[in-house]
Structure 1
């Protein structure tokens, strides 16, 4: 069913406008051909009806008659144009010319009307076959081909009117849908406003008619909890002050000051000894290579002394 709706919408939006545009273009070509035939009949004496404007296959009897009348009238008009200058009966020739013009116009309108009807029927038949094929595919999986359907002029006109009416209904329903959406949005907004008002009213009622004793109990409990919290904070502050007083007594301060003085004096002595050693090391380095020689000899002497002491210790112990 969805495919049928989509196909119908496609026919309304594309197929019928395309067919009407094609009909209008062919009608303009046919009008140009009639004007050229009326203005230059002597040139078209040996011509026939242009086959590019019509589909000559499978034409009806009425269409064949219209085409034949048009061709005969066109030849008569050509003969009238050829013999007009040498004719001895100008009044009769003028009546013949007027008759030919009227017949050409009438036959051309008949042919044009037949062709427009055939084009509309062919277009509607093709669109109907597409719709029938889609319905057949949806019904039996496309195993059976759709039966051929012939549409006459009345049915095609009725179908066009139905499609136009359905298209107008669809547009009207679209507009109504938009309006209904706006109405729905307004009603939803009003609903939420009412819900908010109800909640506010319920809150005020609960605050106003709540048990008075329950409120007093809650207030007393809040006061009790606040008192406990304040007492705990005071105890923590007292503990902090006690720790400070115990740690930083008068004797502790004097002891710390004395310890600081001793550490400063030791630091000064250490810096003095370090400066003396650095000065002595600098003097040794200023001696040049001789200092390195003396240092190496002294190091060897110390090793020899250590070795001799070890030997004496082993001999004594042994």
Structure 2
């Protein structure tokens, strides 16, 4: 005897034989002979006592089809099967329409959901297909009844619901200072610590891209200027050492010289160590500008997640 029903969304509810009777009645009303209450009660009672203690919706509907086909009302069976197929198509219609909008590259809330992703590319389309079909899976199978109700009533919002099944971390602060000091391993390769501003810039970019490919959400570097400051000094020292080699002199006492700021200034009128320091500053400023320009260009063009999205990055 059927006691509980396993619904399509995974919920278990009490068995209600009236739902079977209603479905058969609707099918009968679409035939020329109309409804037969005696047959409805006969089939409903037979299925209720014949079934297992717990059955799925689909299994119960299969029993209804079998009983109708065994009865004298083959016309009702035909209508019931047709109605069942139409309901199945209707449940898939929303997904179909969503897919067609992505395929036809319609500008709407689906295709414009992610400003960093180009949904017009093949990889972008594939990611949107996956995204839009994962969300109903989360609703149907992963959320409790209480949470699903809260989401439906707009008391809760699940950010990036499509990534919910992956158990991924979401947005994080990025420890660039640690990465620059100790290097990092990406699993398939590793990078040594940075020594100069150019390397620090490249490592900052690559480490953000690597983290982006390992998780979802965005990555922020909370103190970009503070983290890079030591490598500006290293580059300054490198320029002073170049002048040591050029002039054949020792300027090591200038390596950690206190500087008011790194500002481009003409060398006209400067002599001695003042000229040496300013020349090293000018060279350093040029290298820093080029390094930061390269960082911005790289962050705005390198791809992550299958080649359809630029990295989610915040530089503070």
TM over 0.5: no
Q: Quickly name the TM-score band, shorter chain normalised.
A: under 0.3
TM-score of the two chains, using structure 2 as the length reference: 0.25
Q: Return the index of the structure with the highest Cα Rg.
A: 1
Structure with greater helix percent: 1
